[in-house]
Amino acid sequence: MAEYLLRLYDDRLGAKKAPEQNYLSENRVLYVCDGMATIKNQATTAVTLSENSAWYSADETSVAGGADGAHLLRYELVKAGADENDGLITGIGVSSTLLYQAEVNLTPGDDYLIRCDRVDIPPSGIAYTHTHQGPGIRCLLNGGFTVETQGHKTSIDAGEAWFEAGPDPVLAYASDYRPGNFSRVMILPRNLLGKSSISYVNTEDASKPKLQRYTIFIDEFITI
């Protein structure tokens, strides 16, 4: 096992603006929160993504904002010790912020699944106490959310990110008057391709009605 870092950057590109540098070669997911972005690497022709869509590549990648700019969430899996400043992009009309990073233990040379999905929980919706089969970073897109794990309760506001290790039980819920809609990237076993990663801690919760909706954008095999 070796330590890696799962990172989340908030990148904002002005109208038809592009950073001075490309994204370096890393396992990377880009999720478009707002606007449109044109993305290209050596292996593909240019792809234009609109709001609420995602793209994966492990190659060096260029990006540019559309006519109204773009707001991107950029999730990257990098070796521990990598300088966070190396991941920042710069340029006229461009800003980049590291929102969150967390250490994850993975086995070099092993195969994994990187998943990007969106979870939409309506007001008063509850994600009953559960675990996942791998670590992941979440970012609240809109609304408000409360996360309880390991004896701690954290209130999350729109634009804030948090980490769930996977095996630690988590109870999460939206407020009575706001939804809890978030983007998420997890590193999972390959046998979960197209399958849910969630397990409920309390048997009775598995059969309760669930109000949350899941949209999977990316399910890609990766080797680290």
Do 102 and 117 fall into the same domain?
A: no
Q: Give the count of beta carbons closer than 10 Å to the beta carbon of residue 204.
A: 8
Residue 108's pLDDT is 84
Tens digits of residue pLDDT in 196-220: 999 999 999 999 999 999 999 999 9
| Half-sphere exposure for 121 (CA within 13 Å, toward CB) | 25
Q: 55, 73, 106 — which closes off a domain? A: 106
Question: What pLDDT does residue 1 have?
Answer: 64
**Is the domain of 186 the same as that of 216?**
yes
Q: Are residues 44 and 118 in the same domain?
A: no
Q: What is the pLDDT of residues 153-177, one digit of tens each?
A: 999 999 999 999 999 999 999 999 9
99 with 132, same domain? no
The predicted structure's pLDDT at residue 205: 92
* 93 and 195 together in one domain: no
Residue 25 shares a structural domain with residue 85: yes
Looking at residue 133, what is its pLDDT?
Answer: 95
Secondary structure class of 207 (helix, strand, coil)? helix
User: Are 114 and 55 spatial neighbours (Cβ–Cβ below 8 Å)?
Assistant: no
**Residue written as tokens 């880009």?**
30
Between 108 and 128, residue with greater pLDDT: 128
Q: Are residues 117 and 214 in the same domain?
A: yes
Question: How many domains would you assign to the chain?
Answer: 2
Last residue of a domain, one of 55, 82, 106: 106
Residues 72 and 136 in one domain: no
Q: Are residues 94 and 117 in the same domain?
A: no
Secondary structure of residue 206 in the 3-state scheme? helix
Confidence of residue 190 (pLDDT cuts 50, 70, 90): very high
Assess whether 132 and 188 both reside in one domain: yes
Beta-strand ranges (E) seen in the chain are 2-13, 27-41, 47-49, 54-57, 61-79, 94-106, 111-121, 126-132, 136-149, 152-157, 161-164, 170-174, 180-188, 198-200, 213-223
Is 197 in the same domain as 95?
no
Domain boundary among 78, 106, 134: 106
Look at residue 8 in the predicted model and tell me its pLDDT: 98
Same domain for 17 and 99? yes
- Over 80: is that where the pLDDT of 2 sits? no
- Range name among 63-72, 182-191, 204-213 with the lowest pLDDT average: 204-213
User: Domain of 184?
Assistant: 113-223
pLDDT digits (tens, 9 = 90+) for 35-55: 999 999 877 778 999 999 999
**198: CATH:** 2.60.120.10
